[in-house]
Amino acid sequence: MTQDVVTRIDGTVGRISLNRPKALHALTLDMCHAMSTALSEWANDDAIEAVIIDHVEGSRGFCAGGDIAFLRDSALNDGGASGRKFFHDVYQLNHQLFTFPKPVVAFMDGITMGGGVGISQPAKFRVATENTRFAMPETGIGLFPDVGGGWYLSRIGGRLGQFLALTGARLDGSEALWTGLATHYVPSEMLDDIKARIVERPGRIAGILSEPVGTPPEARIEKNALKIAKHFASDRYEDILASLEGAIADGDTWAEKERDTLGTKSPQTCKVALRQLATSTDLPTFADNMVMEYRIASRVLTRPDFAEGVRAVITDKTNDPKWDPATPAEVSDALIDSIFAPLPADEEWKPL
């Protein structure tokens, strides 16, 4: 059987290549453990100067997320026990990358969603291409933008993070660069050469990535930035919906499209995401953020919306989820409070 993650040393650079192309390199627990083991070894190896994370050639995805089918099976069949283990260890990998003592370069060449965001955003260098499709689409399956999403999305500015968290909007490579979710934009045809040059001179990564590579296309999201800042300004979900409704009454077709998009999402998850991002802004460390996200994950995994959302969107592809609670008004503050509440001390998330 082919390794789902290929780890190797190339000169003085550690290389991690995701190798599960049929699943667009979606992360399994074994893949996360393999990555974590390699990173632990390289962190203490003076011969390793930098790390590159990419995917094997010939597929559309950098990493399309986590093992959603496994998580749903856990929610339905073991009370979420194996799912919580999955979240716990994936979050340890996210934190390990965030605190890694050497430069990490993530090449987001292709679909970069969910778990793929979690292993690319901690990198010092985040390279987008014309193939990049960046999104946190979890509200559509009753999950939430985890793997550090609370930290990254809340810090973009202009309420863009809240917009991305709620709508699951997909950004292309130039949009990822414009929002700061990518640090560099490189045409995909240049990637092999750039990786080879990084291996040759790992002390010059910033310079190698910043050398003239042409002008990226215009970032389409920039045209709607003012509307996003206005309509997604509130941390109260009902206020956002009301703002969009007001614009629709004035004939704004963009607002209508976004309102309709939100209408397909889990009301519970949308309220969770807004609280998550608002809370994360005030957290002092990324580890604190992951403690919060693990509490959320432990709860939403076994709430009705997750299994139902995966059924409707991924398993049956009927796109007709029956959310519970069904409307934003029915998602009480008490329910959200319970999702964010501390876990018993021996069950809280801890870094490696």
Q: Tell me which residues are annotated as active site.
A: 66, 115, 138, 146
Instruction: Copy the structure tokens of residue 218.
Output: 């215009």
Instruction: Copy the structure tokens of residue 179.
Output: 């929002």
Q: Where are the alpha helices (DSSP H) in 99-200?
A: 115-120, 149-154, 160-167, 173-179, 191-200
269 and 300 in contact (C-beta within 8 Å)? yes
Q: Which amino acid is at 25?
A: H
Strands 13-18 and 5-10: antiparallel
Q: Which residues pair with 17 in a beta bridge?
A: 6, 54
Q: Interhelix angle for 68-77 vs 81-98, to 10°?
A: 140
- Rounded Cα gap, residues 281 and 79, in angstroms: 31
The alpha-carbon radius of gyration of the chain (Å, integer) is 20
Question: From residue 34, how far is each of 8, 81, 190, 225, 233 by CA, in Å?
Answer: 11, 21, 28, 39, 41
Return the number of other C-beta atoms located less than 10 Å from residue 333's C-beta.
9
Q: Where are the alpha helices (DSSP H) in the chain?
A: 29-43, 68-77, 81-98, 115-120, 149-154, 160-167, 173-179, 191-200, 205-210, 225-231, 237-249, 253-262, 267-280, 286-300, 304-310, 333-340
3-state secondary structure of 25: coil
